[in-house]
């Protein structure tokens, strides 16, 4: 008489189901997490290029923030494109104008640079962009030379929402302890990941204090 194998088959079937459930619970977050990290790396690279575009645009337009915002939006527009969507630039520009999603900080020149080298031109305080090559004195307030004051330094931060909602709770708690800035903490509170880029270029026009917001 052939022995009955029903219970054994049931146990093996249950074990298979349990294995698949565990594999799914472990592998899916791992796969999505890997993809998310790769996408963030691409976003960081795009931000670096966009930051350089913004700085170059500002360098020829007296450091005008509006000009830099438009250039930054053009550089970031690939992040908002969907199947060559023509509205990507509009979406990118709207994101750039949101202070909780994008921040442009000018770390050079500083107020002390204008105190040392600023001159009044038609009611505006500017740092001259043309000077004798032998003029290398160091400003008493900024400790910069005129050449150093004629460099535009930007730190640009963006808040990027994760593509996969599952990955946010895994990534954000780890990153939150590494960046305590107000912008970053606000980004984490929204469920996003803050990314930063720094860039330094030579000015090709006179830096204007009001245009830079200093």
Q: pLDDT per residue over 83-103, tens digit each?
A: 666 789 999 999 999 999 999
- CA triple 143-200-130, angle to 5 deg: 65
Contacts of 90 (CB under 8 A, 6+ apart): none
How many alpha carbons lie under 13 Å from residue 214 in its C-beta half-sphere? Answer: 26
Mean pLDDT of 96-124: 96
Q: CA gyration radius for the chain? A: 26
Stronger pLDDT, 163 or 15, i.e. the higher one: 163
113/208 Cα distance (integer angstroms): 11
pLDDT of residue 142: 94
Q: Where are the domains of the chain?
A: 7-212
Cα dihedral across residues 12, 18, 22, 28: positive or negative = positive
Mean pLDDT of 48-60: 98
In this prediction the pTM is 0.83
Of 44, 96, 58, the closest CA to residue 74 belongs to 96
**Block residue for tokens 């979406």:** 91
Mean pLDDT of 161-190: 85
Where do runs of H (alpha helix) occur along the chain? 6-59, 65-76, 88-96, 111-117, 146-149, 168-176, 182-189, 209-212
For the stretch 122-131, pLDDT in tens is: 999 999 998 7
Contacts of 16 (CB under 8 A, 6+ apart): none
pLDDT of residue 81: 86
């Amino acid at each position: 008489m052939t022995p009955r194998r029903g219970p054994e088959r049931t146990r093996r079937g249950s074990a298979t189901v349990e294995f698949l459930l565990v594999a799914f619970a472990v592998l899916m977050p791992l796969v999505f997490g890997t993809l998310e990290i790769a996408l963030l790396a691409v976003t960081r690279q795009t931000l670096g290029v966009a930051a350089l575009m913004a700085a170059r645009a500002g360098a020829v337009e007296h450091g005008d923030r509006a000009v830099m915002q438009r250039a930054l939006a053009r550089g970031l527009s690939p992040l908002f494109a969907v199947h060559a969507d023509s509205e990507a630039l509009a979406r990118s520009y709207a994101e750039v104008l949101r202070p909780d999603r994008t921040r442009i900080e000018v770390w050079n020149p500083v107020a002390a640079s204008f105190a040392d080298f600023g001159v009044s031109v038609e009611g505006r305080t500017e740092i001259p962009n043309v000077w004798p090559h032998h003029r290398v004195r160091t400003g008493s307030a900024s400790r910069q030379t005129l050449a150093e004051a004629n460099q535009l330094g930007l730190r640009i931060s963006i808040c990027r929402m994760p593509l996969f909602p599952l990955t946010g709770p895994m990534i954000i708690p780890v990153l939150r302890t590494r960046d305590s800035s107000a912008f970053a903490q606000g980004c984490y509170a929204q469920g996003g990941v803050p990314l930063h880029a720094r860039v330094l270029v030579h000015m090709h026009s006179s830096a204007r204090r009001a245009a830079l917001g200093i």
